[in-house]
Structure 1
């Protein structure tokens, strides 16, 4: 039985998404909100602070602070969540490579990784993903262009999508990346949370009907490795986001990311545009 040194945040975020879409949780939005909060807090290194009062204030308090002495919502919902997770992993999720459980008497989730050869092992929460080549931080609008924040979010999502599907880069997961939305952070903090080797970030400035996007790639010490500027019309935001994402994918210097990263292969040449089902377009947002 092999004990891995840390867990893979990307695998946990994928498992969380599978739980959200499952029949078990599809009609249990309140329980899933609790599960998502507990998982995100643990991934961000705050698992030890997950006490009843903290959870109650974040999820169940109304006009006044949450009082565990008169409100048992956290305890009741945690019991229900434990049962739901057990139900899921006994049915639809019985073959899951990653399992999320909530121990009795606590609120810090445990992540169990299956090993096909010799069983599985439960690991406590950690903040260190394995082998992250690049973290794409949320793009931001410059002063005077704040009304176009949705375009910045869309561009961030499209760049992540383009590099996920067109390259072999190991990216920091969306669920973690959008924690940096709408708050100030230092580079050392971003490095600690993502454990990424390189970072891609950018800004948007709107002048008239034109969007100017400036993008920079830096290493974990903050030294700039590459930068580029893109201009485009604002008349069709989604088309603009996809085109800019394709240009980033075509021009980013892959040799600077990691020696094992491969550029786009023949199955998807850099000049071939990516397409997505517009009716199913989904934008990631920062978890509350």
Structure 2
């Protein structure tokens, strides 16, 4: 790794100035010396950029700006002079801790079958790297070892986010579905196509790694072995195979991607993407495409979890039932229906008893306890539910301090216990860590909007909707509220009707108020009848809205609108 650093510095193609070179050397040496936990903007500013103890990273963005430029310097180097370097140094967005990635990992001793597929696990998300003892067979594979290092040292960086205790629990034995990412196949001749095909596979794997909920594997199969991928996945117990191809001509690059259910052999999802071919923007093109594909595959409401929820893939082992239980809870959280809450809660309570090391189950259990309090499912016993939520989220973070689901639940706990600024700050950090996850975008947009910041919140919600195949109804709620508050009642009605397809009580509230402003007595009456099915919301509308953390001005407007709707309906 140090040799790679010196090779970068000796290359005329590495354009970084002396200050950024010092920045890179400092963060690499600190990481290799076991001090990655100290790599924060403040310490870097003092050590590299000559700032004093009064340095304020909010007022002086020098570290963030120079980190962004350094990432560009490294990208430019690896596109050209460093494309065949054995080790790649990467500074992930949202962090100053470098990753170290192998382009070619040496063959494992004792393996004689040079035609076999190599299947190193990217990570088991507890920090360990699991390598299947089969040899390499392609020079276009990049295997990430930095994930293990970062996961190990990042625990201390993340634990400050948790206000709860940190007990120790056994690691989970839950078998989440395995997803095998095959190398992208170049269908056109030429170096450009081969480069794009290799880069697409690498970028997609790196993006998918940020999502939890499945085990990720890569393969270095040769093109004539790709036809064996489905059988290989079945033999190894993987649930899904991701295949891709790249074609180029003088004007365009075309990427085709498919996700195949290894159990049934059916295509879960497939799509082709076309982009203008600009040799000067290969890196940005492959990254943009990989971002978009990762969103569809990996997000909580993406194609893998949706297919699993539909029962298309039978659990390979009995303890995969724990994973299916988390999927059931995700299903409930699409609509927040009372009828789906109790089965999801019982399932999660059984799961954490059976599988106490499963961080996702604890996180989701904490989230459902929050729902029980804020949605009135627990009657007036809100505080004890919030306490249980904190306990469950604390356990999830003690098991996996960097678990995305647990950190999302923690941000939710901050919001629903009135710590709005902390909630938004943590949610923004999670967006920075994985900008390809529409769910965390939607949570940020929702939290901004409920606190009255519709100017930023609504566009953020819209971005999440645009990136989701089948958005949950709550993604639309505060887009409709924002339109209602602006007096655009027809558009508010249209958006609320769209979200009401998921049978949402809040959608009916917005519909009733919008219909009333439009003078539609029949529509108002129908919305009020449906709203009455949601007893906590209908009985004490103002109290219900305040428990969601909604800003006073918005609560006042909605309550007044509901009174107007009831007056119109009673005529």
TM-score by length of 2: 0.24
Q: Which has the higher contact order (CA 8 A, sep 6+)?
A: 1
The structure that has the greater radius of gyration is 2
TM-score by length of 1: 0.45
Structure having the higher strand fraction is: 1
